[in-house]
Chains A and B, each alone.
Chain A
Amino acid sequence: MRFRFTDAAIDVGAARRELLDLGAGGYVSFEGWVRDQNEGQAVTRLEYEAFQELAVKEGGRIVAEALARFPVKHALCVHRVGELALGDLAVWVGVSSAHRGEAFEACRYIIDEVKHRVPIWKKEHYRSGDSGWVNCERCAAAPRAVAGGSSAPVHDHAHSHAHAHDRRDPD
């Protein structure tokens, strides 16, 4: 399976071995880690939740698209679900290829598409005691602009990174 979930630590060595190929001259990987802050708030831990039936289907399509689009040998994406601590590995993407250029491009394509398309949700827990589902909660509360009239971007769900507007105050 070219896209899968695990609720235990991702075994990078085992995942990397699945890409080995004597025709490959190199391998590119991306690791997404749990960071200690987001949008100015101190993050203490994360939860990932997935609609796994569809997520595995959509993730598999993304990896298949990368293999069709770029002349690479093998590609794989593994994503964590459940509770994660700071520094934990949240997502791993690996691509092996005859030449490095297409391996970088395919790896970038997979992680970007996964973040946009696969039904996975991330709940951040903050040092303030607050918590929130990234990309979901603040959008619903105030869909267009930051209170106080600062120059916040107009909200757009087509991007997947968390954004700074309308974060609830820590206290």
Chain B
Amino acid sequence: MPEASAQRLLGLVLAGGASSRMRRDKASLAYGGRTQLDRAAELLARHAAAVFVSVRADQVNDPVRARHALIVDSVDGGGPMVGIRSALAAHPQAAWLVIACDLPFLSDRVLAALLAERGRALAADPGLMATAYRSTHDGLPEPLCAVWEPRAAAALAEYHAGGGHCPRKFLMRHAARLIDPVERQALDNVNTPEEYADASRTLDAPAAGHPMQIKIQYYALMREQAGRSTETVDSAAATPADLYGELRARHGFTLSHEQLKVAVNGDFADWSRRLRDGDAVVFIPPVAGG
């Protein structure tokens, strides 16, 4: 597809790093069963026209990377500067939404806020080279979650030729728009095994208060009062007792939860058990066999 205009926005995941502190390839770290590289590419795909992964020449056959469209480093040197310059060189008319592959907390909201600010800044300053977040730690620009405009290519080449290799310092010296983070943790990167363990705990388990899908089966009086045998609900209920409270309000059940028992995933359960995404719940009114 031809580059239609300078407004065409492509996505770039930087995955050429050495991961030396992690002692494992950071792109291949998994959260919730998916590699961070896949998660980052899917996130970008919701905001950019196409997504590429930035790699070194010796990484093109790596299976974690090879399933994506690649941009291989075309300039000498190393580090993120080379990845960004290679992307700008490969598609000179496009702007690039660039993110590092070690930012597991990045969200759609964070990228959308960045792109909205970039639109406003570009309208006000046609000479803009980049739009980036301001670090919560030191107030300096975060170059690895940023939009890089096509006109940054020449300035980056010049900076690079002069011995510069730090995209952060480049942004401090050139026309870059900085905005304050909209989510506190969004740009925390994961560099060490300890940080990965912490991030996994946060991302693998649905945090309290986040909606889960719960399947409910109804029998006897409950079925008649709910007007259905089964339903799947999105709920943030922490326990079956909380869930029953929500459903009682919705369906007008006459029995209180003290009069019921509850089963989760096919066996009796405590009312205070912690619900998980995908659980199957049955509320059991007083029985009358025989």
Contact = CB atoms under 8 A, between A and B. Distances in A.
Which of A58, A115, A120, A121 has the most chain B CB atoms inside 10 A of its CB? A121
A140 B220 contact: no
Given A49-B220, A116-B287, A121-B288, A54 B268 contact: yes
A41 to B, nearest CB: 15
Given A51-B282, A91-B290, A135-B286, A140 B263 contact: no
B290 A140 contact: no
Chain B interface size band reads 20 to 34
B5 interface: no
A49 to B, nearest CB: 5
B289 interface: yes
Contacts of B272: none
Interface string A119-142: 111110000000001111101110
Which of A118, A133, A136 has the most chain B CB atoms inside 10 A of its CB? A136
A90 B223 CA distance: 22
A89 B259 CA distance: 29
Interface string B136-163: 0000000000000000000000000000
A58 B282 CA distance: 15
A134 B288 CA distance: 6
Contacts of B261: 119
A157 B287 CA distance: 9
B267 interface: yes
Interface in A94-131: 111, 114-123
Question: Is the contact region of chain A dominated by helix, strand, or loop, or is it mixed?
Answer: mixed
B286 A157 contact: yes
B285 interface: yes
Given A57-B266, A141-B254, A135 B288 contact: yes
A136 B221 contact: yes
B289 A115 contact: yes
Nearest to B280: A53
Interface string B208-228: 000000000101110110000
Contact of B287 (A32, A57, A91, A118): A118
B241 interface: no
Contacts of A134: 288
A141 B217 CA distance: 23
Given A54-B268, A139-B255, A120 B289 contact: yes
Closest 8 pairs (CB-CB, A-B): A121-B220, A140-B254, A120-B289, A135-B286, A134-B288, A122-B288, A115-B290, A133-B221
Interface of B: 217, 219-221, 223-224, 254-256, 259, 261, 263, 266-268, 282, 284-290
Given A111-B290, A139-B255, A140-B254, 11 more contacts: A48-B289, A51-B217, A54-B267, A115-B290, A116-B287, A120-B288, A120-B289, A121-B285, A121-B288, A134-B288, A141-B254
27 contacts: A48-B289, A49-B219, A49-B223, A50-B289, A51-B217, A51-B219, A54-B263, A54-B284, A90-B290, A91-B290, A111-B290, A116-B287, A118-B287, A119-B219, A119-B282, A119-B287, A120-B290, A133-B221, A134-B288, A135-B286, A136-B220, A136-B255, A136-B286, A137-B221, A140-B254, A160-B289, A162-B288
Interface of A: 32, 48-51, 53-54, 57-58, 79, 90-91, 111, 114-123, 133-137, 139-141, 157, 160, 162
